Amino acid sequence: MMFRGYTGQRSFRRTRARAAVKRPGFLRLEGMAPFGAPAFILIATPDDATLLLPRERQVVRDASASDLLYFLSGLSLEPDDVHALLTGCVIQDGVSLSARAYGDDWVAIDLNGGATVYSRRSGITPVISISTLGDLVVEYSEHVRGLPRKLRIQTVTASSPTDLTIELSQVNVNIEINPEAFEASVPATFSSVAFDDFKLQSLTEDRSFATDAGR
């Protein structure tokens, strides 16, 4: 996968990553470097979250998964939220409450939890093209076998607006993931760093960003 975008006055450079998500509450996000060790490895479980920095030989253990994801991408999400957004489900275990049609091609479906999905007819198979949840608006495109390969995630009412584009490739669903993928094995040579100290530097931030023109 690849992501880029901005939140508030922070701009995130184009970042390649590998991701694995498993319910309930498991996430592995690995930032790829052009060569050598990964830029970062985020591992989250239902109990805790760990951010490994192989190049700096550091580890962050005192932050939640949502805080670490916000630091890396501008989106404060739990692992299960990531799973739902990437698959177009919007929320986990969503239940349809009502629906309404717009013309022949569009249907809006209201779900529990305040979410709404907008389904568009694409050939013979409807696909989810837009979803809203709270202040999030997600646009889905480039569907393959009903699943999106490109997402644009925006916040519409937040004081620090976020606009993030995610492009997915080599997508596998409903496969068995080795449990070791979600185990944080910290080498003895790594030193611990506090999140409040570490977040002054960003692994994904584009320091050249200064104005709206750069977006």
Say which amino acid occupies 41: I
The pTM assigned to this predicted structure is 0.85
**pLDDT tens sequence across 108-150:** 999 998 999 999 987 778 899 999 998 899 999 999 988 899 9
Helices (H), 88-202: 195-198
Q: Is 39 exposed, middle or buried (0-12, 13-18, 19+ CB in 10 A)?
A: buried
- As given in the structure block, the two tokens for residue 200 are 């002054």
CA 16 – CA 75 distance, rounded (Å): 17
- Assess contact for 19 and 38: CB atoms under 8 A: no
Number of residues that this document lists for the chain: 215
Residues whose CB falls within 8 Å of the CB of residue 52, separated by 6 or more in sequence, listed in order: 40, 41, 42, 43, 58, 59, 184, 186, 190
- Assess contact for 202 and 195: CB atoms under 8 A: no
- As given in the structure block, the two tokens for residue 34 are 């052009």
Instruction: Sketch out the chain's domains with CATH numbers.
Output: 2-199 (2.50.20)
Number of H helices, E strands in the chain: 3, 14
**pLDDT tens sequence across 61-117:** 999 999 999 888 888 899 999 999 988 888 888 899 999 999 888 999 999 989 999
In this structure, is the dihedral angle defined by the CA atoms of residues 144, 147, 151 and 156, taken in order, positive or negative?
positive
**pLDDT tens sequence across 23-58:** 999 999 999 988 888 989 999 999 999 999 999 999
DSSP string, 30-60: EE--SSSS-SEEEEE-SS-EEEEETTTTEEE
